[in-house]
Amino acid sequence: MFDELLTNIIKKSVMSTIPADPEMILGPESAGILLTPDEFDGVEEYDDCYSYELIHGVLVVNPIPSAEETGPNEFLGYLLLKYQNEHSQGGILDDTLSQRYVRTSTGRRIADRLIWAGLGRMPNEKTDPATIAVEFVSAGRRNRQRDYEEKREEYGASGISEYWIFDGFRRTLTVVTFSNSQSVETVIPETHTYESPLLPGFVVPLDRILQSADRHAN
């Protein structure tokens, strides 16, 4: 009886690590299918007019982000690279990329931007958790719940140290700091700036970033 049980456990373990057929092509019609994280990682072809997330084993398909989100995101990326190349302490910034996956225990979430700092080398996206995750809140109650609640919980569990939530509707930046399974939230109004201890000397100009979102919304 024990041998049979052990064999079944081993079979399930082996099956869960087998990647998906590389010929699988993801598209909008794929929404709702069930995949393991390994199967999701094994897909090599997809319709790039959409973005794909794996949330608790279910594939979620969304259209590409709007200019209202990508505009301020690109501006933030520019400021970060300027800091990296020109500031005396900018060498602490290892890399920053937009629209990258956060690897959670049950899926793959897309963050608007990820920032790696303090490694002293180029990060490996598959093995090095980002230091900071960034989201720009989209309109709608469901999107707000996703960014403020669901992603907060998942990002904290994934090893991320800080989570920045830019909210053009509330005109705020919410910073969530994770440490020892605890989280501390700080809400920063539009008239203030923010400097993370993880990026010494880098000042987040909240008003300018929100103004970038406003320009793209018009």
What pLDDT tens digit does each residue of the chain (218 aa) get? Answer: 323 332 332 233 333 333 445 578 898 898 999 999 989 988 888 887 788 999 989 999 988 777 888 899 999 999 999 999 999 999 999 999 999 999 988 899 999 999 999 999 999 999 999 999 999 998 888 889 999 999 999 999 999 999 999 999 999 999 999 998 899 999 999 999 999 999 999 999 999 999 998 888 76
Domain locations along the chain: 2-63, 67-217
Long-range contacts for 118-125 (Cβ within 8 Å, ≥24 apart)? 118/92, 118/94, 118/198, 119/94, 120/94, 121/94, 122/94, 122/95, 123/94, 123/95, 125/100, 125/101
67-217 CATH? 3.90.1570.10
Name the helix (H) or strand (E) containing 207.
Answer: helix 206-217
